[in-house]
């Protein structure tokens, strides 16, 4: 039976690969009409054309006061380079070709166990680069019509679900979802981690005064203020610990050391393979931040042993220090490590003249003790009704790989159902 299965899938694979050759998108921009005759949608899906589009992206990004570094071309490009064929950039432009809205997206092929079929899922692309925020870049004066045009054009494309997690305005997500119209439904979903204890759609941000002394006196809880002063006297002033900041010469070493500590902490919970994969993505994001001059990474040392580090992405234009990741030696149980590093990072940010220290996603209790205030982000999911136009032929290669895996595992029903679906899609 295994030999027969292998021969069947081999014949199907050759047939599909031949058909796939004739169904690849041409190497040119794809223009899709929108509801508004004066607007049109362009789909950019290769790096060369995206590079040519960079000046227009940068110009629209500068006009939009509600996006930051994580929606910039320079931040997202590293994720696009790492995942060729997995991303697309949707651009709504006016008749003169001036961009009014940009939606960076990634695509994935999902096998639905309940429906026994392949489905194309579109997601915001920000997480390809480990960005904290996702969504849309809009011309403020054309936000509503541009989002409506984007929704109208995306209706014509094949996909089953579209998800945007960590959209920061809520308003834009609702305008976009409501413009989808009949045949689609949407909802705003919760997103919790740590077994439901942490609401990851709540971000906590500390407004920064002009001096660190002012923050100590007025912005922090009394308990946190006392701990910072006591731990600094006990560990820093005494020389037991030292705090260093990553430089261009030490950044690779410091990133590697921090991620090693992070991986040792989380491998037991996430599994070794997943932990190493996530650590690799974090490393790419942090090295990209270093290349952009946007990395701040203070580390705490006892002699030559790194006890912990806090990685930040600095958005100088917005005046924000974004805390992205921490990694501490799992054998170092001293509670002072996190407090000392956050205090150092906040003091550094104030010295740089930044206005906000962003603790990132999650409403963990310790963040409130630093005077942080809640900011909500949104998790939108849109679903297409019915079973028509749910799979994009651009995902054929990934679907074939899944069919091969099904065959290797002896899952013949999945092979048969998936093969029939792909043959129907290809006509």
Measured in Å, how far apart are the chain's first and last C-alpha atoms?
29
* Domain final residue, candidates 356, 376, 396: 376
User: Are 57 and 173 within one domain?
Assistant: yes
pLDDT at res. 106: 96
User: Are 207 and 137 within one domain?
Assistant: no
Q: Give the SS3 label for residue 70.
A: helix
For 52-61, the pLDDT digits (tens) are 999 999 999 9
Alpha-carbon distance of 283 to 414, in angstroms, equals 36
This prediction's pTM: 0.89
User: Are 304 and 156 within one domain?
Assistant: no
pLDDT at res. 334: 83
pLDDT at res. 12: 42
CATH number of the domain within which 14 lies: 3.40.630.30
User: Are 65 and 91 within one domain?
Assistant: yes
Q: Are 392 and 157 in contact (CB under 8 A)?
A: yes
Residues with Cβ within 8 Å of 3's Cβ and at least 6 positions away in sequence, in order, are none
User: Are 162 and 209 within one domain?
Assistant: no
User: Are 384 and 358 within one domain?
Assistant: no
Supply the range of the domain harboring residue 45. Answer: 2-198+379-426
pLDDT at res. 33: 57
For 317-375, the pLDDT digits (tens) are 999 999 999 999 999 988 899 999 999 999 999 999 999 999 999 999 999 999 999 99
pLDDT at res. 38: 85
User: Are 220 and 99 within one domain?
Assistant: no
User: Are 284 and 360 within one domain?
Assistant: yes
Alpha-carbon distance of 161 to 120, in angstroms, equals 7
Ranges of residues in the chain with a pLDDT under 70 are 1-37
Beta strands in 159-294 (DSSP E): 161-167, 184-188, 192-193, 198-199, 202-207, 242-245
Structural domains of the chain, count? 2
Compute φ and ψ for 59, nearest 5 degrees: -65, -45
Q: How do 99-112 and 117-124 pair as beta strands?
A: antiparallel
């Amino acid at each position: 039976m295994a030999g027969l299965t292998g021969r069947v899938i081999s014949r199907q694979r050759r047939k599909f690969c031949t058909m796939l050759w004739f169904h690849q998108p041409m190497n040119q921009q794809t223009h899709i009409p929108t509801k508004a005759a004066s607007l049109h949608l362009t789909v950019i899906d290769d790096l060369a054309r995206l590079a040519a589009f960079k000046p227009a992206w940068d110009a629209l990004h500068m006009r939009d006061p509600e996006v930051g570094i994580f929606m910039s071309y320079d931040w997202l490009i590293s994720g696009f380079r790492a995942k060729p064929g997995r991303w697309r950039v949707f651009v709504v432009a006016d008749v003169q070709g001036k961009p009014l809205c940009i939606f960076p997206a990634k695509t994935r092929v999902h096998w639905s166990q309940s429906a026994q079929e392949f489905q194309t899922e579109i997601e915001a692309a920000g997480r390809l680069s480990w960005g904290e925020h996702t969504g849309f870049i809009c011309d403020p004066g054309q936000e509503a019509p541009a989002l409506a045009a984007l929704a109208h054009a995306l209706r014509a494309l094949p996909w089953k679900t579209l998800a945007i997690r960590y959209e920061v305005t809520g308003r834009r997500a609702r305008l976009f979802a409501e413009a989808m119209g009949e045949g689609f439904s949407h909802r705003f979903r919760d997103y919790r981690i740590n077994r439901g204890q942490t609401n990851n759609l709540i971000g906590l941000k500390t407004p920064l005064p002009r001096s660190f002394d002012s923050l100590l006196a007025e912005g922090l809880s009394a308990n946190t203020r006392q701990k910072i002063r006591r731990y600094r006297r006990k560990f820093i002033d005494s020389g037991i610990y030292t705090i260093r900041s990553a430089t261009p010469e030490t950044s690779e070493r410091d990133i590697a050391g921090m991620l090693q500590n992070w991986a040792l902490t989380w491998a037991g919970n996430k599994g070794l393979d997943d932990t190493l994969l996530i650590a690799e993505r974090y490393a790419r994001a942090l090295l990209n931040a270093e290349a952009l001059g946007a990395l701040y990474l203070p580390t705490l040392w006892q002699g030559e042993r790194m006890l912990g580090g806090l990685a930040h992405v600095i958005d100088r234009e917005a005046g924000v220090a974004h805390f992205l990741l921490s990694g501490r030696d799992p054998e170092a149980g001293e509670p002072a490590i996190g407090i000392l590093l956050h205090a150092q990072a906040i003091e550094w940010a104030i010295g740089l003249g930044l206005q906000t220290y962003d603790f990132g996603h999650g409403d963990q209790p310790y963040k409130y003790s630093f005077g942080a205030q809640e900011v909500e982000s949104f998790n939108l999911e849109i679903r297409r009704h019915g079973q028509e136009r749910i799979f994009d032929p651009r995902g054929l290669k990934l679907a074939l790989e899944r069919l091969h895996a099904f065959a290797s595992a002896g899952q013949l029903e999945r092979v048969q159902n998936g093969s029939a679906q792909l043959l129907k899609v290809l006509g």
